[in-house]
Amino acid sequence: MTGILVAAAIVGGVGLFIGVFLGVSQKQFAVEVDEREEAITGVLPGNNCGGCGYAGCSGLAAAIVKGEAPVNACPVGGAPVAAKVGAIMGQEAGETVHMTAFVKCAGTCEKAKENYKYTGTKDCVMVNMMQNGGPKACTFGCLGEGSCVAACPFDAIHIQDGIAVVDKDACKACGKCVAACPRHLIELVPYDQKHLVQCSSLDKGKDVMSVCSVGCIGCKMCERVCEFDAVTVTNNVAHIDPEKCTNCGKCAEKCPKKIIS
């Protein structure tokens, strides 16, 4: 009986010592957190998507408080969240452009030719390393295996008829799909931009037409008709500068392949 009491006393004493030690250590080594950081974390969406370039919403909040990131750095929250963060920091949020992802390919199953049929793992990175860069004859087109779909945390992009298609209203412009595409076919563009070139092929016109019925042939008709110097054809493919474009639509009307969407 005495042995049991002694053992219980020893265990109790050790437990008491550890408790006191941890309590003192917690106060001694406690790291003070800026109240603004906690407040900003509270108004951020909490998706932890990494679209801001930081490791989650708490990482962005810490960067904003330190002055390392602007108050409108959250692409998911947009202008409403930027205004709240700005109020916490006592700063003007500034103008926030609503962005969305855009896939620069219109080569659907009907319009783009295939060299062979592929059955296997649905992963664009893997398929891109296969023979001739995958089954599609166009080596610049969307592979359609859905790596971007798997990467999107907002269910805003899906494979339709062999190519990735973005739901603009669901997209939060986090950039996950941009990073996931091995062919770099996805870019972030202003939500209100009405005219964009849905092709990325760098091949010459004749080669483009041999593999895709809607690919850009680099004819420069869009470039010549634009009055605002917003359209340029470089490396056989047209590109529209959203900052210069007025959405007049003349380039789309003139395009013989109707690839300006």
Q: Does 216 belong to an annotated binding site?
A: no
Q: Does 142 belong to an annotated binding site?
A: yes
Q: Does 52 belong to an annotated binding site?
A: yes
Q: Does 57 belong to an annotated binding site?
A: yes
Q: Does 219 belong to an annotated binding site?
A: no
Q: Does 177 belong to an annotated binding site?
A: yes
One-letter-per-residue 3-state SS of the chain: CHHHHHHHHHHHHHHHHHHHHHHHHHHHCCCCCCHHHHHHHHHCCCCCCCCCCCCHHHHHHHHHHHCCCCCCCCCCCHHHHHHHHHHHHCCCCCCCCCEEEEECCCCCCCCECECCCCCCCCCHHHHHCCHHHCCECCCCCCCCCCHHHHHCCCCCEEEECCEEEECCCCCCCCCHHHHHCCCCCEEEEECCCCCCECCCCCCCHHHHHHHECCCCCCCCHHHHHCCCCCEEEECCEEEECCCCCCCCCHHHHHCCCCCEC
Q: Does 171 belong to an annotated binding site?
A: yes
Q: Does 251 belong to an annotated binding site?
A: no
Q: Does 138 belong to an annotated binding site?
A: yes
Q: Does 255 belong to an annotated binding site?
A: no
Q: Does 148 belong to an annotated binding site?
A: yes
Q: Does 222 belong to an annotated binding site?
A: no
The binding site consists of: 49, 52, 57, 74, 138, 142, 148, 152, 171, 174, 177, 181
Bind-site residues for [4Fe-4S] cluster: 49, 52, 57, 74, 138, 142, 148, 152, 171, 174, 177, 181
